[in-house]
Structure 1
C-alpha cells in the first residue's frame, strides 16, 4: 500500500495566497500554490494532486487532517453525483470543479483509494512535513515568486535518499470558489472512494 499525507494552507481565509502539499511515506513529495484561494480549496487540491501523482494498481491511502476534504472525496461524493452535483438542501456543491476533478482522478485510477483522518499538529512527522511544505508554498505565492524555490530549497526528505518531485511549470492553477466550514465530527473509517476494499 502507498501511504501519502496531504495538507493545505491559506494565509488569509478566504482570498489569501494558498499552498498545498503531499508527502509519500517513502519521503518523495510535491507542493504548489496559487495567489488566492481558501483553506478548503488548498486541502482539496493537495488531495487531488496526491491521487494524480500515484497512478497504478497498488492501493493508495491518503491521510489528511481535513475532515472536509476527506468527506468531499468519499462520504459526500457519490450522493452529490447522484443528485446532479447538488447538496441535500438542493444548493450547488461548493468547490465543484475540484470535487469533480477528484472524482475523475479516483475513477481513472486502477487501484483503490482510501482516506484516513489524522489529527493535525500532534507530532505525526508526515502530517507535520506536509503542513510545513504547504505553508512554505503559500508564503512563496504571497511573495509573488510562485516558483517554489523556497519550498524545495528548504525541504529535506524524512526518508534518507528520498527525492522531491518538482511541480511542472505548466501546472494549471485551480479555480477558486468559496468553501464551507468542515464538519466537526470524525468521519467513519475506512472511507473508500471507489468501492474496493482490501485487508
Structure 2
C-alpha cells in the first residue's frame, strides 16, 4: 500500500542534518551562478574557489549587476575565470555612478580604480561595460583565440593599440569602443 499524500509531504518536509552539505553536490555551473548573485565580501572568494576547483571549460560567462563593486572583488575571481573560459565573456557593470547625475549618457563620468585584465588566452569574444572602471592590459599578454572585443565605459590605463595588436590577437576581427 502506498503512503497517503500527508505522509509523503511529511517525509519531504523532514529536515536534513545540519552537517549535510547539499550545495557541494550541485554542478559547478550552478554553484557559479549562485555565487555570482551573492552580495557579500565572501562571495568573490567563493566564486574564485569554485572556478579554480573545476576543470570544466566555460563556454559562456555573463556577469551583470556589479553595481560599482570594488575593483578588488572583481580582481579576486577574474583570473580564475580567465583560465577556464573558452568562449564568450560579458562583464556588464551598469552600476550607479556610471553617468553624471541627470545625464542621459553623454556627459562627464567619475573615474574609478583600475582593473588589470588577465589574459583570456582561450576566449573568443570579450564584451566589457565597466561603468567607467579603469582597465589596464599588461603588455605581454596574448589573446590567442580572441576574434571580437567590445568595450564601453572603460578608462584605459596604458595603450589599447598594443594590447589588441596582430601579434597579441592573431585572430582578431572586430573591435568596438564606446565612451
TM bracket, shorter-chain basis: under 0.3
TM-score by length of structure 2 reads 0.27
TM-score by length of structure 1 reads 0.25
Greater relative contact order (Cα 8 A, min sep 6): structure 1 or 2? Answer: 1
Higher strand proportion: 2
